Structures are given as structure tokens and as C-alpha cells.
Amino acid sequence: MEKILFVNACARRGSRTNRLARRLLEKLDGDIREICPETSGLKPMCGESLSLRDELTAAGKISAPELSAAREFAEADIIVIAAPYWDLMFPAFLKIYLENVTVCGVTFRYTDEGIAEGLCRARRLYYVTTSGGPIRRNLGFEYVDALSKEFYGIDDTRFISAEGLDIIGADTEGILEAAARGIKP
């Protein structure tokens, strides 16, 4: 059975992004493990934590508890990231999560030529978002897409969105339903 990692970066109760992501998850077949970056206890990388991470990876201690988020990310067969569209991007705690999983020796490595090579098992990553208005540019998806392709080795990234949910007169439920119906796993 496939391992599905659901990275739930939705802070609000009743989150529309979470609702849409769960519709995707219903269409996928596998064991789902959910992580909420907001409550995960992960901290932003700083001098001390970077030094510790460097020491652990240099010593080959990738089984250390400090690298568990990166290992879990690398071992997933499918990754689903649910992140609301905030300020052209996503909530800050998702960035903290991504800093913690982007670990040389766990989710990627450098070749002799200095090129990043992905070590992640996932064959696909879904990025699910919703927004109150139109999405003209989603720097959050662009960032995750670049990390996936340039570092993690995940070439199949898919963007799923429901937009315009807060526009006066919008049929919010209809927009969400249409987006859910359009999901192709």
C-alpha cells in the first residue's frame, strides 16, 4: 500500500483549502499520514540547528530524531500539501516545515558535478490551495514546484485550486464543488 503524506498547512477551522485537499485524499489509495506544520513543533532553522543538522548528516546519522520530518518526507510515495493562498504564497509555518525537510543526504544529495539530485521516493506531489480572489501568480506553488524538481526529484507536481471564493456574489460551495470534481489523481 502506498504511503501518502498529507502536509496540512491550514490554520483556520473549517478551512476551505483543507476541505478541498480532503476531497483529493478520498480519491487516492493508500495509508495517509497527516502532519500539521503549525503544531508540529518544528522551528525555523538557525545557526545552532543548522550546525546540529550538518553534524548529524556528516556522521551519517540520518536516523536521528532531529531528521524525522525529512525522512518521512523522503519515504512518502505521494505528497499532498494543503496551503491557503496568503499574500501570494502560503503560511510561514509551511516554509519552516520545508526548511526542515530539505536536508542534504536525506531528501537530496549533490553529485560530483555539484548538481542536486533528488532522494525522495514520491512520484507525485499535489499542491492544493484556495483563495478569496483570483490567483494571478502563486509564488507558494512556484517555490514548492522548484524544490520538488530541483532538489527532491519529484517531477510530477500538480496544482489544484478553487479561486474567487470571497468575491461578492460568488457561489462559494459551487466553486469548491467544481474544483473537487475536476481533481484527477
Q: Tell me: the pLDDT tens digits for 45-83?
A: 999 999 999 999 999 999 999 999 999 999 999 999 999
pLDDT at 91: 96
Residue % of the chain over a pLDDT of 70? 100
**Whole-number Å distance between alpha carbons of 69 and 98:** 9
**Whole-number Å distance between alpha carbons of 53 and 55:** 5
In this model, does residue 185 exceed pLDDT 90?
no
Domain assignment of residue 85, given as a range: 3-181
**Whole-number Å distance between alpha carbons of 66 and 162:** 35
Query: What is the tens place of the pLDDT at every residue in 87-122?
Result: 999 999 999 999 999 999 999 999 999 999 999 999
**Whole-number Å distance between alpha carbons of 160 and 182:** 9
Which CATH number goes with the domain that contains 36?
3.40.50.360
93 grid coordinates:
509555518
Specify the number of domains making up the chain.
1
62 grid coordinates:
540520518
The β-bridge partners of 127 are: 81, 159
Residues 6+ apart with CB under 8 A from 50: none
β-pair type (3-8, 31-35) = parallel
**Whole-number Å distance between alpha carbons of 67 and 156:** 25
Helix (H) or strand (E) holding 27: helix 16-27
